[in-house]
Amino acid sequence: MSTVIDRKDGVHSPRRRALLQVGAAAAGGLLFGFETVRAAADEAGRRGSGSVFAPNAFIRIDTHGRITLIMPQVEMGQGVYTSLAMILAEELDAAFEQIVLEAAPPNEKLYANPTFGVQATGNSNSIRAFWMPLRKAAAATRSLLVQAAARTWKVDPGSCSTDSSSVIHAASGRKLAYGALAGAAMAGTVPADPPLKSIQQFKLIGKPLKRLDTPDKVNGVAAFGIDALPAGVKFATLAACPVFGGSVQHVDDRAARAVPGVRQVVVLDNLVAVVGDHTWAAMRGLAALDIVWNEGVNAHLDQAQIWDQIATASNAAGAVAKSVGDADKGLAAGQKLEAVYRLPFLAHAPMEPMNCTVHVRPDGCEIWVGTQVAARTQAIAAKVCNLPLDKVIVHNHLLGGGFGRRLEVDGTEKAVRVAQHVDGPVKVIWSREEDIQHDIYRPLYYDRLAASVSDGRINGWHHRITGSAVIARWLPPAFQKGIDIDAVDSAVDIPYDIPNLRIEYVRDEPPGVPTGFWRGVGPDNNVFAIESFIDELAAASHKDPVAFRRNLLQGKPRLQTVLDLAAGKAGWGSPLPQRPGQRSGRGIAAQIAFASFIATVAEVEVGSDGEVRVRRIVCCVDTGIVVNPDTVIAQVQGGLIFGLTAALYGSITIGKGRVQQTNFNDYRMLRIDQAPAIEVHLLPSEAPPGGIGETGTAAAPPAVGNAIYAATGIRLRQLPIDRDILAGRRKQ
């Protein structure tokens, strides 16, 4: 059974064009004929007794008026449980306090994300993907309820209205609650194209409603994957070979078995797990193991080799992702500049470390986990156990952070393999060290840029992006003609007026190091490289960075507007206080990412020791129609902190085939006393909603980098920032 969030009583029970094409087959999954609907309702898990009105796979209304939204997206702190519930309640004309949320079961036919074509939460697209489909499903449901009431009263449906979970006939003063109509509504005809509310009719959308998941997260009732405690559960922790691709050679487990509470040691081909009565016993037992690893072919791999490989790969012409005009001719006109920008591997390090509870039986498998990909989780377990899909039950929970890490199923695969050797359920928890040293890392990127400028205009532009092709592994149908659509995102859509440009992509896979999506995905790399280089072009043109950008945004009024607003709110051009021993500066970055338009100004101080203190960030956002402004502001704030952490500290490095970072002592997070004052300004808009969860992450690094340049005259082209260069201890 899936986790339920009930607002009333708190009861809980156990991108883009190519992607749009891939996901097109899933887009029609919200409205069904009644037989399919009834099956979908049964599959989602019908609760209670009596009649349940199930007009589609997402909405169920029982005779008590309880309205259940089968939530197709997962909640990992981004507020989607509340925002999607608001969309449903708005178009259904339902009382918001009557909405109950239930996590969707694994089912890609019913619950696939319309953008991806697979059941997944990511790419800042929960609202974008389900904005129209969910509204249409709710509007169709509302129509069926009106039809039922009209039949009961023998009146024209057009004479009826809806409000607060009731159908109203104003002429006669009659009213029927949705719960009272649940049985009769199934006899209606689903409208093919139900009319939707206009923006002016919205009552809930746009209001700062309190999040549905917050109270139970505060009082401790909320159940995350790591909280699952099925009867008789044992606890395990594991160690995989520290070298990528290595295997187990020999294990001496005598000392581990002597640890009180240790029940068994599971030795597999590439990992070892210790199972105990509690987590502490498992951890102590694992530490007592004497393991000899076969380190394999990657034992001598180091970071310098990886950088050399990607730099060499970037010398070759890549697949052309976009070409406008004649880039070579444009580059020959005016002053030409060239630069290389580099970004490192990054780990996800969510607050909730990787975990998965599994019970493998002869006739089936049951899983308790927090995952961004429920159907893939079910599929990997079925594959490992050699079971049909319907024999694998997945209980999806709230996620204690995802950031793309839980788009992968390696944690489930390992847990299921361990559970096959354990009698009864076992909870497998990764240590923080295992979590950081065996992640699926943000790709390392190498960007070559060249441009020519004259009279404050860009004549030619060439951007060659080199890095892993995550899409080729994660969603192969979307990897076409050698182009990773994620890797070039925000590069092919560069907002500036450039008559001659060419964007290329070179695929380079680092030996041994697994790579995947990380909060901000492709725009993280491209916004940093582009916005930093735009600042370089402004300096070479002797133009103010804001004025230079503004002159190139005549065709992008939404971005131009947020740029002007950010500059004004930040006091662009006014002097900053200069404290002794500190160099101060402002930097700006503009971006179109995830269908949102954002401009960000950072104020920094750089000490003589090279330390950078970000004092203030002003971020202006046009994300289209805002469902819940509090959620948008919170997500931008969180994304900015996430991006600042990466800019100031984030780096995963490889030595002797293994990750050199171990925990938060050497994979630093931004600390509370380092957090800047953050101002987020939302622009009103009637455009369709954009994505917001990852935008701040992409915005922070270039704004900070440009501010550092304004303060010091030093252009840093690689992250994280190098304090030795800023302090003059080392040349760039």
| For residues 466-485, average pLDDT | 97
What pLDDT does 578 receive? 87
End-to-end CA separation in angstroms for the chain: 57
Give me the pLDDT at residue 732, please. Answer: 84
> Degrees (nearest 5) of the Cα angle 55, 76, 6?
50
Q: What is the overall mean pLDDT for the chain? A: 93
E strand residue ranges, 1-112? 4-6, 52-53, 59-62, 67-71, 99-103
pLDDT of 51 reads 74
Spatial contact of 162 and 114, defined as CB atoms under 8 Å apart: no
Report the alpha-carbon distance of residue 472 to residue 451 in Å, rounded.
Answer: 30
Taking only the tens place, the pLDDT of each residue in 281-338 is 999 999 999 999 999 999 999 999 999 999 999 999 999 999 999 999 999 999 999 9
Question: Under 8 Å CB-to-CB from 394, ≥6 apart: which residues?
Answer: 105, 106, 367, 369, 371, 374, 377, 378, 381
**Is cis: bond before 194, omega within 30 of 0?**
no
DSSP 174-212: EEEEGGGGHHHHTTS---SS-----GGG-SSTTS-PPPS
CATH tag, 4-218: 3.30.365.10
Q: What is the dihedral of CA 576, 580, 581, 586, to 10 degrees?
A: 0
65 close to 178: Cβ distance less than 8 angstroms: yes
- Supply 449's token pair: 């840029």
CATH class of the domain comprising 225-296+354-429: alpha beta
Q: Residue 95 pLDDT > 70, yes or no?
A: yes
Confidence of residue 27 (pLDDT cuts 50, 70, 90): very low
Query: pLDDT-derived band of residue 467, with 50, 70 and 90 as boundaries?
Result: very high
pLDDT above 50 (res 117): yes
Which two structure tokens, joined as six digits, stand for 289? 């193991």
- What residues form DSSP beta bridges with 620? 599, 681
Whose structure tokens read 């969603």?
475
Query: What mean pLDDT is predicted for residues 183-206?
Result: 94
Strands 59-62 and 67-71: antiparallel
- Stretch 258-277: mean pLDDT: 98
Q: For position 22, what pLDDT does the model report?
A: 42
The β-bridge relationship of strands 174-177 and 166-169 is: antiparallel
Q: How confident is the model at residue 13 (pLDDT cuts 50, 70, 90)?
A: very low
Percentage of the chain exceeding pLDDT 70 = 93
Q: How far apart are CA 274 and CA 291, in angstroms?
A: 12
pLDDT at 34 over 60: no
Judge whether residue 41 has pLDDT over 50.
Answer: no
**Secondary structure (H, E, C), 403-415:** CCHHHCCHHHHHH
| pLDDT at position 20 over 60 | no
- For helices 410-419 and 374-385, what crossing angle results, to 10°? 40
Structure token pair of residue 124: 């800042």
- The pLDDT tens digits of the residues spanning 650-676 come to 999 999 999 999 999 999 999 999 999
pLDDT tens digits for range 232-251: 999 999 999 999 999 999 99
- Model confidence at 12, pLDDT cuts 50, 70, 90, reads very low
- Domain boundaries 325-345+442-726, CATH class: alpha beta
Euclidean distance between CA atoms 555 and 558, whole angstroms: 9
Does pLDDT of 6 surpass 60?
A: no
Mean pLDDT computed over 550-568: 97
Model confidence band, residue 30 (pLDDT cutoffs 50, 70, 90): very low
Q: What is the mean pLDDT of the segment spanning 457-472?
A: 98
581: left (phi over 0), alpha (psi -120 to 50) or beta: left
Please determine whether the domains at 4-218 and 325-345+442-726 fall in the same fold group of CATH. yes
Strands 4-6 and 52-53: unpaired
How high is the pLDDT of residue 47? 31
pLDDT at 731 over 90: no
The two tokens of residue 701 are 């690094």
- What is the average per-residue pLDDT within 173-182? 97
641 HSE (CA, 13 A, CB side): 17
Query: What are the structural domain ranges in the chain?
Result: 4-218, 225-296+354-429, 325-345+442-726
Does pLDDT of 701 surpass 70? yes
Task: Say if CB 596 and CB 621 are below 8 A apart.
Answer: yes
